[in-house]
Amino acid sequence: MSVSSEHWRHTRNLMLGHLTVWFVFSFLIHWFASSLYNVNFLGWPLNYYMAAQGSLIVFVIQLFLFSRQQHAVDTKYGVHEDEQ
């Protein structure tokens, strides 16, 4: 298997993993919001917390994590951009 196809395979798997996490926190949590009402998180109902702050916190963390992981994949296969 060539280096570029191996790089693409790692990039694709990383992207699919992050899209799965994004989908869960964008849609699944909110689709099941009524059943999460009875679960408390820091004194608040979990559905309220996830809609107000939790999902946004997850997205910001996911953004930095994805950037770091993609840079590691690019560096591993020698296709990274030089930092100045």
**Would you list the domain boundaries of the chain?**
3-77
In DSSP terms, which residues pair with 44 in a beta bridge? 41
Q: What is the residue-level pLDDT of the chain in tens, covering all 84 positions?
A: 798 999 999 999 999 999 999 999 999 888 888 888 888 888 888 888 888 888 899 999 999 999 999 999 999 999 888 876
d(CA 79, CA 81): 7
Angle of the 55-76 helix axis to the 3-23 helix axis, nearest 10:
170
Q: Whole-structure pTM over 0.85, yes or no?
A: no
In DSSP terms, which residues pair with 41 in a beta bridge? 44
Strands (E), the chain: 40-41, 44-45
